A and B are shown apart, each in its own frame.
Chain A
Amino acid sequence: MKLLKRLMCTARRRSPWLFHMNSGSCNGCDIEIVAALSPRYDAEQLGVRLEGSPRHADILCVTGPVTRKAVGAVKTVYDQVLGPKAVIAIGSCPATTNVFIDSRTLDGPLDKHLPVDVFVPGCPPRPDAIIAGVAKAAQILAERGNKAPQPIVAIAAETTEEVNQ
């Protein structure tokens, strides 16, 4: 039984399938997610696959500051992702609503509506930071299993290179 549990844990860690959800993003972070899968960064080495259907996904990647129009869609898609699941907030927008703060068209930030597991800050974040965030989320997913998500959270640090710049 313990062996099976460990096998499942490893499988969850090594096979994170993503679903990408735009909640009113400016498209900057969306491009960076695609860049993370491109030949230069090659997230598939970690078993990452960008899935078309939320039913197939383990990790929900949300970009954008969550506009009023997008709240319903974000919640619906979160419910369509089947457990065990994790949520990554990609970019500064879903974390803090960024430069759009106090806008009356927003109903953000994201953690008002969903339990976010990993924040990847940046405007936009570098693809390496997104990959680090996905790896972190996969680790959280593997350790948590079917238990309910905790309110807290990890912050995927930007690369040292980025910090030095």
Chain B
Amino acid sequence: MNLLTALARLLIFPGLLFAVPAAWFFLWVERKSVALMQERVGPPFMQPFWDFVKLLGKSTPPRPGIAGLLMRAWPLIAVSAAAGAVGLLPVLPSSGGFEGDLILLLALLELPSICIIAAGFSSRSIFGEIGSAREAALSVSYNIVFLLAIVSIAASQHTFRLEALASAPFTPLHWLGVLAILVCLPAKLHINPFSLPNAEQEIYSGPMTEYAGPELAMWELSHGLEWVAGTGLVATLVAPHIAIPWGGAWLAACIFVAISFGVVLLLSALAAATARLAIDSSVRFYWQCTLIFAVLAVSSAIFMRFRS
């Protein structure tokens, strides 16, 4: 039974069956809201789906040798890691099964961006290498803040278990942590003002420049899944825990989707309203402006733990 619940979580909700359409939907919301803010009509509702299907039907250039094999493998690893991260989110009240902890979730969330770095370097394109170097520099800067924020939430609750964290009572520290995660999400999702790695018009498509066809489709999907996982993480931390035995699951799922949608709208509006920052400004933003708050959050969490 436990195995069944774990599989259901990974494959149905909030796993693949929910996450893939949600990924396409969030990609559409991102493009549509940018279009609306520019007074355009924007792409039709099914656009990300059509793009995905079309890319699956395109051919790929021949890629001989180990480098070719690696280039084919990176997008698949990225998609499976992002899908796994979505599957781990503690959306529904616990009913046994596999319970991953926060560390596993963070590792899975981080894997797509490592894959992007590796993909850019293994494509051996100059634009890919520039994009990868930028992604690496950016990842070093935002991850410090991101990890400190999560550690502060975990330390204040004395646990790394996702279930316990999701149902934890709200404290000011909790909100500070959520805020820090929100500040890091644009960099994690490569959207403006931190769209440096895949900067269009500047370095073509960054690490994705050499990718085509089904491989590119996988990158698009993994980007969408990262949206679902990133906004879902915020949603599970913010959503009130519902303990109603019947109907609770549906309500919890609806609240999760609604909050994720709100976060997507917020981030898309930010992306449409801002321009791309240069790499030094982005790095300076994370190291100088937000790191202080993250350190404050962690130190107060540790302080509170000693006091209690």
Contacts and interface: CB of A to CB of B under 8 A. Distances in A.
Contact of A82 (B53, B59, B208): B59
A84 B51 CA distance: 14
Interface in A126-154: 146
A78 to B, nearest CB: 14
A83 B62 CA distance: 13
B58 A11 contact: no
Contacts of B307: none
Nearest to A9: B57
Contacts of B216: 55-56
A44 B58 contact: no
B283 to A, nearest CB: 23
A14 B50 contact: yes
B39 A82 contact: no
Nearest to A41: B40
Interface stretch (B41-49, B137-145, B229-237): B41-49
Contact of B53 (A11, A56, A58): A11
Contact of A58 (B44, B58, B200): B58
Give the most central of A7, A14, A58: most B CB within 10 Å: A14
Contact of B57 (A11, A14, A53): A11
Contact of B47 (A15, A51, A84): A15
B191 to A, nearest CB: 16
Contacts of A164: none
A39 B127 CA distance: 29
B204 interface: yes
A28 B201 CA distance: 19
A107 B200 CA distance: 31
B54 A55 contact: no
A8 interface: yes
Interface string A14-54: 11010000000000000000000001001011010001110
A105 interface: no
A47 B47 contact: yes
A159 interface: no
A15 B50 contact: yes
B212 A44 contact: no
Contacts of B43: 44-45, 47
A55 B46 CA distance: 23
Contacts of B40: 39, 42, 44-45
B47 A55 contact: no
A11 B50 contact: yes
A44 B59 contact: no
B44 A45 contact: yes
Contacts of B205: 51-53, 56
Nearest to A79: B61
Contact of A8 (B57, B60, B127, B211): B57
B21 interface: no
A132 B18 CA distance: 37
A8 B53 contact: yes
A123 B211 CA distance: 35
A14 B44 contact: yes
Contacts of B42: 42, 44-45
A8 B208 CA distance: 23
B226 interface: no
A12 to B, nearest CB: 5
Nearest to B32: A44
Interface in A70-84: 82-84
B299 interface: no
Given A15-B51, A45-B41, A55 B59 contact: no
B243 interface: no
B104 to A, nearest CB: 33
30 contacts: A8-B54, A11-B51, A11-B54, A12-B57, A14-B44, A14-B50, A15-B50, A15-B54, A39-B38, A42-B41, A44-B40, A44-B42, A45-B41, A45-B42, A47-B43, A47-B44, A47-B47, A52-B201, A52-B204, A53-B205, A53-B209, A55-B216, A56-B208, A56-B211, A56-B212, A56-B216, A58-B58, A82-B58, A82-B59, A82-B60
Interface of A: 7-8, 10-12, 14-15, 17, 39, 42, 44-45, 47, 51-53, 55-56, 58, 82-84, 146
Given A7-B53, A45-B40, 17 more contacts: A8-B54, A15-B50, A39-B39, A42-B42, A45-B41, A45-B44, A47-B51, A53-B210, A55-B61, A55-B209, A55-B212, A55-B216, A56-B211, A56-B212, A82-B58, A84-B57, A146-B59
